[in-house]
């Protein structure tokens, strides 16, 4: 966020409670200061419980000055409205853990999944841009592999797909890119997507 010089953040929407997806919550304090507002935070009940454990100081009654100031909203299966943006929550599976993916107009963001039911795929279909996790070539218990992610994108047929949550074991960006169908690219830090 610092490197990209991002000064405005409207809300934080959580997918699941694993540390690599929640550790940044403390950084919200900078946006409270920049934007002079409390930060709306969206999470399922289960993820909220994890946030309360991991960031007890943010939820404590006796607040220390300078900690992140957040307003929590519960994510269910209903559409979330943030300003004039609507997000549709989609259920994906990460080994045994339910994870929320989100669709905004024709853009769908899916991380930390290795299974998506046919019913949930219907919510994704028609997306022009999909971001999806593709961890590595070898099988993994809770993440799509490189080939599984390619197969899924060929099934869902977005105009453009980006692979994210990539392990260093996958290889170098330029070399791996050559193996991908033309509509799939590897995402990278600082990538901007207009929707
Ligand atoms: Zn995870
Ligand atoms: Zn993860």
pLDDT tens for each residue of 2-24: 888 999 999 999 999 999 999 99
* Mean per-residue pLDDT over the chain, rounded: 96
What is the structure's pLDDT at 27?
Answer: 94
| Mean pLDDT of all residues in 14-35 | 96
Nearest listed ligand to the Cα of residue 16 = 1
Query: How far apart are the CA of 64 and the centre of ligand 2, in A?
Result: 30
| Mean pLDDT of all residues in 106-114 | 98
**Beta strands 39-43 and 70-74, pairing class:** parallel
Query: How far apart are the CA of 52 and the centre of ligand 2, in A?
Result: 19
What is the structure's pLDDT at 1?
Answer: 81
Confidence bin at 65 (pLDDT 50/70/90): confident
- Ligand 2 is an ion; residues with CB less than 5 A from it: 20, 112
Query: How far apart are the CA of 160 and the centre of ligand 1, in A?
Result: 24
pTM of the model: 0.95
Query: Both ends of the chain: CA-CA distance in Å?
Result: 19
């Amino acid at each position: 966020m610092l490197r990209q010089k991002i000064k405005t953040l409207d809300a934080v929407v959580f997918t699941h409670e694993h540390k690599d997806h929640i550790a940044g919550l403390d950084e919200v304090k900078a946006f409270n200061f920049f934007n002079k507002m409390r930060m709306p935070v969206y999470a399922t009940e289960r993820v909220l419980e994890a946030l309360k454990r991991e960031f007890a100081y943010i939820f404590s009654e006796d607040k220390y000055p300078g900690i992140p100031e957040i307003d929590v909203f519960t994510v269910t299966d209903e559409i979330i409205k943030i300003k004039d943006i609507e997000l549709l929550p989609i259920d994906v599976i990460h080994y045994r853990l339910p994870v929320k993916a989100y669709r905004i107009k024709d853009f769908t963001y899916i991380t930390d999944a290795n299974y998506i039911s046919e019913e949930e795929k219907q919510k994704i279909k028609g997306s022009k841009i999909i971001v999806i996790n593709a961890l590595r070539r070898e099988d993994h218990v809770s993440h799509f592999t490189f080939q599984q992610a390619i197969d899924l994108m060929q099934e869902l047929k977005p105009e453009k797909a980006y692979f994210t949550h990539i392990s260093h074991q996958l290889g170098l960006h330029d070399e791996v890119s050559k193996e991908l169908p033309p509509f799939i690219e590897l995402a990278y830090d600082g990538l901007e997507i207009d929707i």
